């Protein structure tokens, strides 16, 4: 073995060990886990060059990321190394990739082939997508104005979601509950009742009676004659996939 521990994250593709001291200084509680460095290319973003990604795979002896399973390890992966480093002060990485017996993850991809597209074509597409999103934005605004006018005419109270800005009438709102056993997972209590859909426990918390049916966040009564806030122009760039 020629490797060593270093606070500089590795850049070569592979799987690495990381370690960090226990925040309370207990040597038997040293924290450690596995970390993967790989190249990623998103087919949905053909104009973006491939990127090297560093993500945690699992965390052992964790003091972060919720309850531990018996045996002291959790599969709390998915963080990039900067997030990891902010939670594990003093993090260090083993300098050599660890591939395990018989070559663990032998098909970890290398840098994918990528050729930049004709910038003229890209620009043309960008322009088209900008126009389309401006049109969509206007349609949404018109729809909103219409909804407010309709509610006014029928004397109905409108609610606005704080997260997605969607307008809902009272009958569309849902009761939102969260389960303290499932990382405060939110669910629609109107539809599922009081039991958590994940663990089926009944002792869940009622968060709000005026929940948004789309995103389960709280809705507030739409302030009457509120000055129209100019909405920020929607970004034309393709959405990054959530992982």
Residues at the interface with Zn ion (CB under 5 A): 161, 163-164, 166, 179, 181-182, 196, 198-199, 212, 214-215
26 backbone φψ class: left, alpha, beta (φ>0; ψ -120 to 50):
beta
104 DSSP 8-state letter = S
Based on CB atoms, which residue is closest to Zn ion, 135 or 201? 201
Q: Write down the least CB distance from residue 168 to Zn ion, Å.
A: 8
Q: Write down the least CB distance from residue 162 to Zn ion, Å.
A: 7
Q: Are 141 and 234 in contact (CB under 8 A)?
A: no
Based on CB atoms, which residue is closest to Zn ion, 34 or 176? 176
Based on CB atoms, which residue is closest to Zn ion, 91 or 196? 196
Torsion of CA 202, 204, 210, 215, to 10 degrees: -100
Based on CB atoms, which residue is closest to Zn ion, 37 or 161? 161
Closest CA to 188 of 203, 197, 175: 175
Total count of residues recorded for the chain: 243
Based on CB atoms, which residue is closest to Zn ion, 98 or 185? 185
Q: Write down the least CB distance from residue 208 to Zn ion, Å.
A: 12
CA pair distance 189, 194, nearest whole angstrom: 6
The per-residue DSSP string of 197-215 comes to TTT--S--EEEEEEE-TTT
Based on CB atoms, which residue is closest to Zn ion, 22 or 185? 185
Q: Write down the least CB distance from residue 231 to Zn ion, Å.
A: 15
Q: Write down the least CB distance from residue 192 to Zn ion, Å.
A: 11
Q: Write down the least CB distance from residue 215 to Zn ion, Å.
A: 4
90 backbone φψ class: left, alpha, beta (φ>0; ψ -120 to 50):
left
Query: Within 10 Å of residue 93's Cβ, how many Cβ atoms?
Result: 23
């Amino acid at each position: 073995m020629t490797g060593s521990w270093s606070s500089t994250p590795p850049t070569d593709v592979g799987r690495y060990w990381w370690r960090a001291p226990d925040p309370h200084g207990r040597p038997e509680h040293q924290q450690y886990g596995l970390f993967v460095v790989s190249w990623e290319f998103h087919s949905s973003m053909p104009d973006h060059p491939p990127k090297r990604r560093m993500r945690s795979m699992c965390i052992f002896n964790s003091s972060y990321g919720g309850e531990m399973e018996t045996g002291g390890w959790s599969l709390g992966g998915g963080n990039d190394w900067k997030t990891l480093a902010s939670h594990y002060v003093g993090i260090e990485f083993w300098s050599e990739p660890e591939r395990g017996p018989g070559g663990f993850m032998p098909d970890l991809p290398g840098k994918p082939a990528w050729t930049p597209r004709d910038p003229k074509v890209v620009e043309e597409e960008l322009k088209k997508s900008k126009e389309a999103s401006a049109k969509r934005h206007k349609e949404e605004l018109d729809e909103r104005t219409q909804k407010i006018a309709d509610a006014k005419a029928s004397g109905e109270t409108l609610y606005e979601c704080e997260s997605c800005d969607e307008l809902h009438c009272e009958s569309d709102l849902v009761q939102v509950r969260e389960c303290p056993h499932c990382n405060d997972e939110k669910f629609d209590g109107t539809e599922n009742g009081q039991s958590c859909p994940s663990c089926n426990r009944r002792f869940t918390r009622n968060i709000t009676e005026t929940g948004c049916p789309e995103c389960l966040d709280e809705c507030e009564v739409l302030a009457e004659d509120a000055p129209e806030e100019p909405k920020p122009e929607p970004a034309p760039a393709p959405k990054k996939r959530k992982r």
